[in-house]
Amino acid sequence: MPEWFLAIDGGVLLWIQETLRCAVCNGILSVYTKLGDAGMLWIALSVLMLCFRKTRKAGLASLLAMLLGLLCTNVALKHLVGRARPWLSVEGLVPLVEEHDPNSFPSGHTCAAFAAASAWCRTLPRRWMKVTAVVLAALMGFSRLYVGVHFPSDVLAGMAVGLLCGWLACLLWRQVPAWRRLEPPCQRD
């Protein structure tokens, strides 16, 4: 990547560290970002949605979207790109949480959050549920920047991959007749 781009990417993280970090937010966002480890928050919400007929499609679609996102980010892209975590290249950056995966691009946490949110926005029955999904996903992306474990471009790429996977999961849903039988009659096309 061009040097000027890397300087901007790192500069944003230093600005967040110097300007926005405070003791209360450090604790809250550190816990929130850890809820996204292995997609657990999104998987738990999706499994909960499977328990209710009106949200069953949303739960299944988001699980499929997150699986596609996992394959794209953690299995393929992170290893192909091999970008190091920001604290290894941005002088003065102090991460608030420990990350064991040395690869940074794209953000798997952000991908999972936006894959789930994208699927939910296409399938949940209530507007407030859709808005909440987007807010929670955006907060996950921001938390990855706040705790200093991803560059802004990592988060943007994770968001793009997640949105694409959510769309693709819903597209695939329409192509499999057996899955469509799981929907309540009022939600079928």
Residue range 38-76, pLDDT digits in tens? 999 999 999 999 999 899 989 999 999 999 999 999 999
pLDDT digits (tens, 9 = 90+) for 94-144: 999 999 889 999 999 999 999 999 999 999 999 999 999 999 999 999 999
CA distance 107 to 111: 6
Instruction: Match 């949200």 to its residue by tokens.
Output: 55
CA distance 42 to 153: 22
Confidence at residue 86, expressed as pLDDT on a 0 to 100 scale = 94
- pLDDT of 188 over the 50 cut: no
User: Cβ neighbours of residue 43 under 8 Å, at least 6 residues apart?
Assistant: 63, 66
Confidence at residue 184, expressed as pLDDT on a 0 to 100 scale = 54
Helices 40-50 + 108-123 axis angle, to 10 = 20
pLDDT digits (tens, 9 = 90+) for 152-179: 999 999 999 999 999 999 898 878 766 6
Instruction: Match 């296409």 to its residue by tokens.
Output: 122
Q: What angle do CA 89, 25, 39 make, to 5 degrees?
A: 70
Confidence at residue 80, expressed as pLDDT on a 0 to 100 scale = 95
